[in-house]
Structure 1
Amino acid sequence: MSTQNHNALFDALWNDYLAITPDAKAIHEEFKALGDDTIINDHIALRTFNEGAMNLENIGKHLEQFGYEAAGEYHFEEKKLYAKHFQHKTDEDAPKIFVSELLLEEFSAELQMFCRGLIAEANWNIRQNGLSLPSRPWGKVTREAYERLLEESEYAAWLAAFGLRANHFTVSVNKLKGMKNIEAVNEFLKVKGFELNTSGGEIKGNEEVCLKQSSTMANIVDWEFNGGKHPIRTCFYEFAERFPMENGELYQGFVAASADKIFESTNAA
């Protein structure tokens, strides 16, 4: 499909993300003050379940409509996740899309039962209206259900609360004019008072794996549950600096060990 279509998809995801991620807008303003009027997005990430109409396979088929194809796969044994990243077939500047899914069968019967209830609701809604991004194809969960899920899987709790929306956007450090590297970005953000994810170190990865990543901790926002509002972590902003491979081209994939720590940017306060 045309460039216009995938740009419209990202516009919808970006506006939805900004509404619950005030840090992202504030960081944009800080970078603009340094001369970066246009911030290039390296990638976004989506979370989902491995069953039903919104599993990774079906999201992949949905993304094909926008010109995307699968370009790499990743396993996260500790967090019980499987993931793929997707790249646009013709637009090299289009952001990559990292989609992960929770391996439900590896969790408790209680978690499986609750999440399959959400999936059943999603299946019905998607049959009626089709798969759409961003969306939460089920009703609001209770705070109690969220906190019970949180005990077993932060990922599952976040997904139950927020659904299919961009978990993060990512600044391409390579394309910044006002910052020379990710180390400078991190120091700048700390001076400005933003909280960084320090799990595994502020910087995940290195030049040897051709990718360095860092991220803020997700904003804490009053979120509407079934029964009232409660402050929880929403979404975060990531920063990625890519390095050339042996063939001279910038590495375009991801590093599972680093991504594993980036997932923890939404860990409860």
Structure 2
Amino acid sequence: MDKTQLLSKLWEQYAEITPSAKKIHDLLEQKGEEIKNDHIAIRTFNDNRINITVLERLFVNLGYEAKGEYHFESKKLFAKHYEHATDQNAPRIFISELELEKCSPELQATVKNILDSCDQKLFDHPELVLSGTVWNANSHATYQFLLAESEYAAWMYVYGFRANHFTINTNALKGFATLQDLNAFLEDNGWKLNASGGKIKGTPEQLLEQSSTLADLHIVNFEEGALEIPSCYYEFALRYPMANGELYQGFIASSADKIFESTDVQLQHNK
């Protein structure tokens, strides 16, 4: 699989449970915009079988290089971002993992049991990042247990290995001078934005502004019955030039911390 095929499959898998992303994509294209991706985000646990070191291999083999590292203390997350060595138009890759050792023993045991229940050979598959849930994720009780401590863990249990969000490169849009303009356009067309920490996270002084929709609701068939669970969201990023004139390429941990909340169940209830 080459880079183009991988990115295409990640988009198809993401759009299947995030119909709003395709609608926003089409809406902007109808205005004459050419959509470019700023970055794609992926989630995992820091278990040695499936941690960042495991998931990054496919991207590194396709020419990506590790760049920044980020810590999210309150959410017990660690993340790294990657940039392609030769293709400046390739989207950045952002992989985060839940630091299990910082979680309760009960959550650690639950995640271990989930992973132990799998055919362990699945974790060696080179395209694990496209595999979705390789475990049996049909227990609403397990989802609720994880959700009580970590929304991230609960999301990972239900959706597994896939793109958690794609991000529109706002710098590449012709008809929107600011992120405020893009947000207003989206809201005028009926989309709800993540307002946690403000609708725009980051500042020009920090060299990066970000906003996002709230995650779509996707029907999940648990053994206890079918329920709507927040799936994925669409993000929008505007980058500013550094002192050398080049656009800032990294991420702001405090902003990303609030962007993570786009899949939060509580935000859905506050719509």
Q: Distance in 2 between matches of 1:127 and 1:151?
A: 27
2:47 partner amino acid: E
Q: How does 1:119-268 map to 2 (within 5 A)?
A: 119-122=115-118, 124-126=120-122, 129-135=125-131, 136-268=133-265
Partner of 2:65: 69
Partner of 1:44: 40
2:56 partner amino acid: G
Contact 1:121 1:137 in 2 (8 A): no
Question: Which stretch of structure 1 is more off in the superposition, 125-134 or 167-176?
Answer: 125-134
Partner of 2:9: 12
Identity of aligned residues (%): 48
Partner of 1:90: 86
Q: Distance in 1 between matches of 2:117 and 2:245?
A: 48
Q: Distance in 2 between matches of 1:52 and 1:122?
A: 14
2:214 partner amino acid: M
TM-score (norm 2): 0.94
SS at match of 2:238: strand
Q: Distance in 1 between matches of 2:43 and 2:187?
A: 28
Q: Distance in 1 between matches of 2:127 and 2:45?
A: 14
Contact 1:197 1:262 in 2 (8 A): yes
Q: CA deviation at 1:178?
A: 2.2
* Equivalenced residues, count: 265
1:185 partner amino acid: L
Q: CA deviation at 1:229?
A: 2.0
Q: CA deviation at 1:122?
A: 4.9
SS at match of 1:202: coil
Q: Distance in 2 between matches of 1:255 and 1:123?
A: 37
Q: CA deviation at 1:157?
A: 0.2
Task: Please identify runs of 4+ aligned residues in structure 1 that moved more than 3 A.
Answer: 127-131
Q: CA deviation at 1:123?
A: 6.6
Corresponding position: 1:115 with 2:138: no
Unaligned runs of 5+ in 1: none
Unaligned runs of 5+ in 2: none
1:27 to 1, 24, 28: 24
Question: Which stretch of structure 1 is more off in the superposition, 227-236 or 75-84?
Answer: 227-236
2:116 partner amino acid: A
Q: CA deviation at 1:226?
A: 4.0
Deviation by residue 1:9-38 (Cα, 9 ceiling, x = unmatched): 0100000000000110111121012111x3
Question: Which stretch of structure 1 is more off in the superposition, 221-230 or 4-13?
Answer: 221-230
Q: 1:203 to 1:148 in 2, by over 3 A?
A: same
2:75 partner amino acid: K
Contact 2:55 2:128 in 1 (8 A): no
